[in-house]
Structure 1
């Protein structure tokens, strides 16, 4: 025995299928108002980024500060959390600042970061490089004699900074 479906039943069935499909697809979409990373991912990504950047510069590096928690504004306007991480080179004896800056700059460009190399003024200019975009909001490498430092700020993630600072 075959059952005939009325045009109304087919229309309802089609509407239900299309509605469910739309819900499923929108649940997977990358809504620009939603955070793209969770706080734990943002925190780990900035630590990894700075450690990889220090490897690109060469030498032995150590933790200086962070990952520090800061407030940021998400694309939706909601409060979010960003992380800042800083490392310093343990010993700059024999370091070639210009070469190290170029190595870090090249590494960052490979990650899709827009870089700007610069020099301070004065008789002994200090080279450095700043970056924006890619896996971080901002990054900086300063090749000060005896005090190399690399720092970066993560993408803005979900979370309330005060709660993350207190561990709640």
Structure 2
């Protein structure tokens, strides 16, 4: 077997995404906070933390349990067009290498949204409505014990 083939075989056995294998819980927490805060800054307004960043248990790609962080921010309504803000967020996330998908709720006055995957997040979601905005994300699942991290104040 060639050296290149052996290296590929070993990489295939390592399990998990490269970010999952490289990040510590602290780095995952920092990455999800930066991603949410950068997104909130891109659409301006006064945002407040609704939840987190808080650790939760997760399943690792290669099997076993790990730790991930979730973080949620909310914003009160402001003048402007929610569809413009969805476009701003989608462009930001694509520039950061995330895969995005737009969606909207049903009804005569739908809530607009965009969700993203990849990068430092397992998922990130932005909802834009005239009544207010929400932004939430979950980090990649890292090696770590979520219960132990919670006992230690996370």
What TM-score comes out, normalization by structure 1 length?
Answer: 0.77
Q: 2:67: which partner in 1?
A: 81
Structure 1 contact 58–100 (Cα < 8 Å) conserved? no
**Residues paired across the two proteins, number:** 140
How far off is 1:146 after superposition? 2.0
Alpha-carbon distance in 2 for matches of 1:30, 1:83: 26
Deviation per residue, 1:84-125 (Å, 9 max, x gap): 000111x32203100000000000001111101111111111
Who is 2:142 aligned against?
A: 157
Conserved? CA contact 1:32–1:75, under 8 Å: no
Deviation at 1:30, TM superposition (A): 10
On the 8 A contact 1:119/1:127 being kept in 2, the answer is: yes
Matched, 1:60 2:60: no
Q: Give the CA RMSD over aligned residues.
A: 2.0
Please state how far the C-alpha of 1:31 moved relative to its aligned partner: 7.2
The runs of 5 or more residues in structure 1 that have no matched partner are: 1-24
Matched, 1:33 2:33: no
| Contact 1:132–1:138 (8 Å) recurs in 2 | yes
Deviations 1:68-90 (A, max 9, x none): 2111122321210000000111x
Relative contact order, higher structure (CA 8 A, sep 6+): 2
Cα distance in 1 for partners of 2:73, 2:146 equals: 22
- Aligned residue for 1:162, secondary structure, equals helix
Q: Per the alignment, do residues 119 and 36 of structure 1 end up closer, same or farther by CA in structure 2, a change over 3 Å counting? A: same
CA distance in structure 1 between the partners assigned to 2:66 and 2:138 by the alignment = 13
Aligned partners of 2:45 and 2:78 also within 8 Å = no
Offset from partner CA, 1:39-68 (integer Å, 9 cap, x none): 000011101110001111222211111112
- After superposition, where does 1:9-48 map in structure 2 within 5 Å? 32-33=14-15, 35-48=21-34
The 10-residue stretch of structure 1 (147-156 or 31-40) with the greater mean CA deviation from structure 2: 31-40
Structure 2: 5+ residue stretches without partners: 1-6
TM, length-normalised to structure 2: 0.83
